[in-house]
Structure 1
Amino acid sequence: MPHEEEGLHCLLKRLREQSLQVDFQNQRQMALGMALEPYLAPLTAQYLAPLEEEIELAEWYLFADYFPTDGHPSLVEQIRDNITDHVPEEERVWLDPVRHSYMDVLRITGTDSTTQPHRLDLQSMGDNQEFQVFHPISPEFQQGRVLLTRLIRGSSTTYLPGSPLVLSSAMGNTLLSFTHDLRRHLEFGTGNFALAEWPEFTKQYGYLLIWSLARLRGGAMAVADAQVIYWTETGDPFFYAIAIYAHHAFQVLAEGLEEWKNWEPQGPGHEQASHPSGDSEIRRWVFKAPSAKPTSYALAKITLTPTQLIVEGDSASRLDSLKHQLAATFGFSLHFMGETVIPPPHSPPHVDLLADHYVAPPVTVSAAEEAKMLASFLETVYLEWAEQPCPALDNETPRHVARDPQKRPHIATLINQMEEQDLGLQRTGQRAYDYGILRSHVGL
């Protein structure tokens, strides 16, 4: 390490120690809390944590940019005016360069690994200033990529302290766009149009670059998560988005669904072997992904029983689209009972900041998790079933029908039929709901 740069590293260590002084702890927490604010929100903290590079940038904001609110001098001023501890001259020469430094978004315009040390050619995306930095070149440092970092301008050269955060070109452009949005909001809110100068803006509000990165990472993670494809343990598509309708128009619905384009009839499910009579009254259609291959997988399924229509899809958006299509086709022939659009529990997908596109790995859902999901869903659907008008009972409530001795057999037959055609039985071969609960609700 060159002697000059060694002084910078020693000063950085001194600044960190000074920030840890007991009487400065509140200010340290305020500064770091401000810089990392988006990550401290309870909901965000559950799935998104600051990267090491972001924590390092937040510390640099504390050391070089932050002005205490309790009357303390800045950390640089505290070191400069220190009369009790000796501060070597090789550290003092860095006080002004550190004080005048600011966070920046820099595009790599060239690299040269033949020099010792290696050379990086950088251009600020904020004001187009160009810099040459001598710094070890890692494989991530490729022309066109973007660095979120801070440059320290020494007496003879410009230094890149620590490890910069490297972004793809597209990520860098989005980061800058988000930051400009915040900048314009600040200018209109404060009336301080002096912030139009990039160095002045980032010196005072450089932490907004970290905020923009948090927004970028969270948005990218949401996009990637929305692309997750779920599979069962047997390799079939897992439909977590489900809606159930009650009806009393089996033939009308069956004929209408037969007319839907790109939907194919499907054979019996798991329950055929143990309940063949129930399966003969069930019709199914599947919608497959467009593909030249005959083995393209299904994206949605519709199951029609004598009393229910069940819609299953691979995403909440697909289910919503199908619900609109059903409403447009069948109108009041369907009575909505309930839906679930909560994806199975899974780890948030990793977002590669060096990539322009997000590819989420597939998630396999265990049979136990599927059974748990179906049980919870059906429990919610049937919670007030006894008190709701039922199309299969001429829109009378099941509880009211059960009070009539002449109609009681109808309600008993209906519950038996629902039990034989249970959604869990169709999907896994095991019932997902205890229909004895419905019998007790209506007094059978």
Structure 2
Amino acid sequence: RAALLRALAELPGAVEAGEDDGETVLNLTRPGNAMHRGWDNTTMAVFRLGAAELVVETNSEKRADAARAALGPLLDHLRFVERDARPVDELPQPDPSGSGLPEGVDREEVAAILREMKERHYADWCSQPLPALDGKTPLEAVQGKRTRQRVQALLADMERHESGAPPDERFDVGRLRRELGLESTRG
């Protein structure tokens, strides 16, 4: 196990994420993020190394193939058991009664990190072309009546989503409304 952990940690882009239920978790990353330009990297795969097994998790079959290729020579020492590809909505969901955080993780620290991620994500949102707006930026889209309504619908959806988050994790969508000149209009 120790030798395999060392080999995994030496993979390009491997970042140790800590322990979870007795498993050592490593993220396989690559620099940059096409979807979220403010993010430093993209997680391509998550490796969970337990006492007797290595589980590789990805969000696409293409990334699963890439992760398997990255394991390269390590595969000589591993036995492939199964490949399980399921839609996200069929995956096990966290227990809503608990915090969902591993023991010892500071919830306030997690909330601060989430707020910071949202701040970075939305920092230039108004000037980013969006597929939902046919490639227009929200700043461009508010100029037309129909596309303004679509921007308002996006903002309303974001507000609904944020209202479901704990108060200390919420992003103030009103900031985007103000930046777009929509603070006095809703819906």
Q: TM-score, normalised by structure 2?
A: 0.45
Larger Rg: 1
Q: TM-score, normalised by structure 1?
A: 0.21
